Amino acid sequence: MTRRRFAIVLAGAAVAPLSALPVASAANPSKTPPVAGPRPASVSVAKKTIEVRSTSLGKILVDSQGRTLYLFKKDTRGKSACSGQCAKFWPPLRVSGRPTAGSSISAAKVGTIRRSDGTRQLTYNGHPLYTFLQDSTPGQTHGQGLTAFGAAWFVLSPAGSQIVRK
């Protein structure tokens, strides 16, 4: 099943719950993130490690549980543009304490920003980091290239730049 068809099927199955949510990108509603089972609105632990994992997209950044990390093109350096409903579909990688970098990661590129709610979010190469609600198992990249909440979402390379292949 193609990614587009997969998204349409899941979105169609969730029409009633989604009808009250203003989550679709007006320009491209077929790329609205589908609804999945329950998962916390954000991921937060005392210490987070960013690691590298090999996938069909090449080497990408993942969190300590193997979940794919994404950047949001609407973010500006040092500021997240994803809150409210956006953060429910794309949970920010929140952290308290000092984050750590895995062996293939540049520790100098790991940082944090303060979110509008006062919590700290992990960054890499200046990009605030997020997971995706539809990635239910480690290594999945269902959010790659989606446009939602006003901009595109991409996985990151160990260099800290977006990967644009699908």
Residue 8 has pLDDT above 70, yes or no: no
d(CA 145, CA 50): 21
Residue 34 domain-assigned? yes
Residue 137 domain-assigned? yes
Domain count, the chain: 1
Residue 166 domain-assigned? no
Three-class SS of 63-101: CCCCCECEEECCCECCECCCCCHHHHHCCEEEECCCCEE
Domain that holds residue 64: 3-155
Please tell me the total number of residues recorded for the chain in this structure. 166
Q: pLDDT tens digits, residue range 14-71? A: 333 333 333 333 333 344 444 444 444 444 444 558 999 999 999 999 998 999 999 9
Question: What is the rounded average pLDDT for all residues in the chain?
Answer: 78
Residue 164 domain-assigned? no
d(CA 35, CA 13): 9
Average pLDDT over residues 74-88: 94
Are 34 and 25 in contact by the 8 Å Cβ rule? The answer is no
Name the DSSP letter for residue 8.
H
- Phi then psi for residue 153, to 5 deg, are -120, 135
Residue 163 domain-assigned? no
